[in-house]
Chains A and B, each alone.
Chain A
Amino acid sequence: MDFDYTDEQRLLADSVAKLFANRYGDFEKRKHYATLPGGFDRAVWAEYAEAGLLALPFGEDHGGFGGGPVETMIVMEQIGRALALEPYMANTIFAGAILRHSANHALRDMMAPKLAAGEAIIAVAHTERHSRYDLHDVTTAARRDGDDFVLEGDKTVVIGGDSADYLIVSARIEGGRRDRHGIGLFLVDANAPGVSRRGYKMQDLTPGAEISLASVRVPANHDLGGLPLLERAADEAIAAICAEAVGAMESLIAMTVDYMKTRKQFGVPIAVFQALQHRAVDMTVAAEQARSMAVYAALSAASDNAKERSEAIAMAKTAVSKAARFVGQQAIQLHGGIGVTMEYKAGHYFKRLTMLTMQFGDADHFLRRLAA
């Protein structure tokens, strides 16, 4: 048992923190990045590449550094602190995990190096209008036609979908809407004929998109795998989200505590009021518990045992989502009016935390998975 970072991991944490301090230290810059095409700044993305972050989780044979879930946790925590807008989770972690674990080696060996080198951005299009958080609830159809599949259907709330060069689309080759078998994961050129998309910002300013597929042709060998692959990659993505939420929570608590020490009412700093002290304590307790579960998620995410892994991830996402909601709400409350303004950073942490609790499923969703 060992919860310490290695020296290399510590170096990684420092260098990522420095990157974000430069790029996001001035909060006004974030507003500006969000107005750029695709919803983030390509120059910042290039710095991710320079710092080796885009290559981090990939193996050396794909031009990567062979980083594991702990390295991912380190980066994601800093993303959470910075409220960064770049699609690192969607592209590098989630789509990256699908490629890394795909049994379609030819396609994997073609695409993974592109992600590692920052030459392409991939988003995973899995959510549908009525699928809620169930990855196996798929109506988008993949119809075999000679050497091709023809994709037909609509995907919604595709995280990072606005700027993606490629999409990985979950589509049903056979079976009923909620069958676990018969699902394929197709790599689609985002600019292929028949693909249309509408980009937008999410509530937390990160980019997302609606995607329609109308008779989109993909070669049959562009199928990366089935539901187990998608679930495995989602588990790694959820572990990453847990780390991001912990980073955001800790920054938000630090901000709130600072504010309590400086905001004066009734002639004293509001930090003097014991009711508020205890609230700040409860937030800290929640964040510590969440950090433990983020660590648990990271250390479980690479497991090949699907049952154990998914249970650990469900526990972590449940705990982190609950903590994120509590910490977010209370941070706003302790700030008073300024907490509900657009100008002030605390509200943006609150919104990001709210989105993170929903990504891949909220606490109810994962509690039910655990209770099943």
Chain B
Amino acid sequence: MELSFSPEESAFRDEVRQFIHDHLPHDVQKNMIEGREIGKQAIVDWQRKLNAKGWAVPHWPQAWGGKDWSPVMEYILLEELQAAPAPQPLPFNVSMVGPVIATFGSDAQKQKFLPATANIDIWWCQGFSEPGAGSDLAGLKTTARREGDFYIINGQKTWTTLAQYADWIFVLARTNPQAAKKQEGISFILVDMKTPGITVRPIQLIDGGHEVNEVWFDEVKVPAENLVGEENKGWDYAKFLLGNERTGIARVGASKQRLRRVRELAALERAGDGALIEAPWFREKLAEVDVDLKALEITQLRILSDARKSGKHGVPDPRSSILKIKGSEIQQATTELLMEVVGPLAMPFQGSGEPEDASNEMAIGPEDAAYAAPTYFNWRKISIYGGSNEIQRNIIAKAILGF
């Protein structure tokens, strides 16, 4: 057993840090530290820099820009990006649709989509969830009817993250309504967002921000060549996609970054006669989260190390549900701490950019105070999406109890 990284791994970590230091725009980093939105262009620009360096899609097949790295190397890159903080490569592109196309897509699809996906020349969004199909994704009702060389798609997707930025959407739709099981009869189809019949409607989230949407399909005509893999096998591809999220799901680096910020702010806030950061009761609270986070970090590394030894890179480990549960709980705990640090200054609403909310232009106290409560509110989402924490517990229950 050995806790530290190998010399090559350490050297790689230093290289990543240096790269971020040299290339990440200062304002992007500052906005991320303080919890502000950074917008589409900053994400695209940064991913293009990573892509040019060969770091946007290291886990893809080598023919399509992959690096054949160990899981630990992938982990180091993601952790360093989160810790900086820098934008992560767009998950819809690099972790979701990219690997599906690379694994199950036709050669023509690979040629057409993979390089553009790695470089965000195409911004993808994920059209899985529907109003009636959340945790029970296989209950989806959107249909794709075959007519000659086309599919005609009808239905409604919801919670579609950043559909307002997206050029393409990958959709799960029912191609065989008569299938015996609801998981059978679903297909995985790629759809150009400019196709007539698609309507995107914003959903405002609890913090006032616009990050999710409803996407409506009304007789949307899609070339049949946009079907990925086989018709009615979409559920298998979706499961592959959802199981692919292992690396980085715990977001240890992101939590480290926010705890660092908590410490910085707690040095600025006063508690009694000293700084808050000096108050023993506050240090205990921080230490408790530190302990939890350290355990998570080592758990993550153990799982990665097993994956490396077994060579089963890319095969989901049921223990990744642990990473999702603890990772989201710890991230949420860090947002609570941050809000508690700014205390009363977290209460004023600083506006969301929506006209009716533009009531307060100036931050009160440190810049982050404006975002502390909204971030805490918004971060409740991370125990809901990507398989809710209850669903993750069901997975672990099944693994340990057998039914």
Residues of chain A touching chain B, judged by Cβ–Cβ distance below 8 Å, are 35, 127, 129-130, 132-134, 156-157, 178, 198-203, 205, 208, 210, 264-267, 273, 275-276, 329, 332-333, 336-337, 339-343, 347, 350-351, 354-355, 358-359, 362, 364, 368
Contacts and interface: CB of A to CB of B under 8 A. Distances in A.
Interface in B357-398: 357, 359-360, 362, 364-365, 373-374, 376-378, 380-381, 383-385, 388-390, 393-394
Interface stretch (B51-59, B254-262, B343-351): B343-351
Given A333-B389, A340-B205, A340-B380, A130 B270 contact: yes
18 contacts: A132-B344, A178-B273, A201-B348, A203-B349, A208-B347, A264-B132, A266-B135, A273-B390, A276-B390, A333-B384, A333-B390, A337-B158, A337-B385, A341-B203, A342-B205, A354-B373, A354-B377, A358-B344
B402 interface: no
B19 to A, nearest CB: 34
A127 B204 CA distance: 32
A358 to B, nearest CB: 6
B270 to A, nearest CB: 5
For the complex of A and B, list the 3 residue pairs with the smallest distance between their C-beta atoms, beginning with the closest. A200-B360, A342-B204, A265-B136
A343 B204 contact: yes
A358 B343 contact: yes
Nearest to A279: B390
A342 B281 CA distance: 35
Nearest to A344: B206
B131 to A, nearest CB: 9
B348 A368 contact: no
A266 B183 CA distance: 12
A267 to B, nearest CB: 8
A208 to B, nearest CB: 6
B272 interface: yes
Looking at A35, A129, A201, A276, the one whose CB has the most chain B CB atoms below 10 A away is A201
B380 A333 contact: yes
Contact of B344 (A133, A275, A337): A133
Contacts of A276: 390
A346 to B, nearest CB: 9
B139 interface: yes
A273 B135 CA distance: 13
B383 A203 contact: no
Contacts of B159: 337
B271 interface: yes
B376 A340 contact: no
B356 interface: yes
Contacts of A132: 269-271, 343-344
A157 to B, nearest CB: 5
Nearest to B354: A342
Nearest to B204: A342
Interface of B: 129, 132, 134-136, 139, 158-159, 203-206, 208, 212, 269-273, 281-282, 285, 339-340, 343-350, 356-357, 359-360, 362, 364-365, 373-374, 376-378, 380-381, 383-385, 388-390, 393-394
A133 B340 CA distance: 11
A337 B382 CA distance: 10
Contact of B134 (A203, A205, A265): A265
Contact of A201 (B273, B360, B389): B360
Contacts of A205: 349
Contacts of B390: 273, 275-276, 333
Given A157-B344, A267-B139, 8 more contacts: A127-B344, A132-B269, A200-B350, A267-B136, A333-B380, A337-B385, A340-B381, A351-B377
B319 to A, nearest CB: 20
Contacts of B129: 337
A350 B374 CA distance: 12
Contact of A347 (B132, B270, B377, B384): B377
Contact of A266 (B136, B346, B350, B377): B136
B347 A202 contact: yes
Contacts of B271: 132
A198 B381 CA distance: 32
Nearest to B285: A364
A340 B203 CA distance: 10
Given A354-B376, A364-B340, A203 B273 contact: no
Contacts of A130: 269-270
A203 B347 contact: yes
B395 to A, nearest CB: 13
Nearest to A34: B356
A275 B359 contact: no
B377 A339 contact: no
Contacts of A203: 346-349, 373-374, 377
Given A157-B364, A347-B377, A336 B136 contact: no
Nearest to B362: A198
Nearest to A264: B132
Contacts of B381: 337, 340
Contacts of B203: 341, 343
Contacts of A332: 380, 384
A134 B272 contact: yes
Given A200-B360, A203-B348, A358-B343, A340 B377 contact: yes
Nearest to B182: A267
A127 B347 CA distance: 12
Nearest to A362: B340
A337 B203 CA distance: 11
Contacts of B345: 129, 156-157
Contacts of A208: 347-348
Looking at B269, B357, B390, the one whose CB has the most chain A CB atoms below 10 A away is B390
A157 B356 contact: no
Nearest to B343: A132
A344 B344 CA distance: 26
B343 A362 contact: yes
Contacts of A364: 281-282, 285, 340
Contact of A358 (B347, B356, B383): B347
B364 A341 contact: no
Nearest to A128: B344
Nearest to B378: A340
A265 B135 contact: yes
Contacts of B282: 364
Nearest to B132: A264
Contacts of A35: 356
A87 B320 CA distance: 48
Nearest to B203: A341
B387 to A, nearest CB: 12
A364 B288 CA distance: 15
A178 B362 CA distance: 28
A358 B136 contact: no
A134 B159 CA distance: 42
Contacts of B204: 341-343
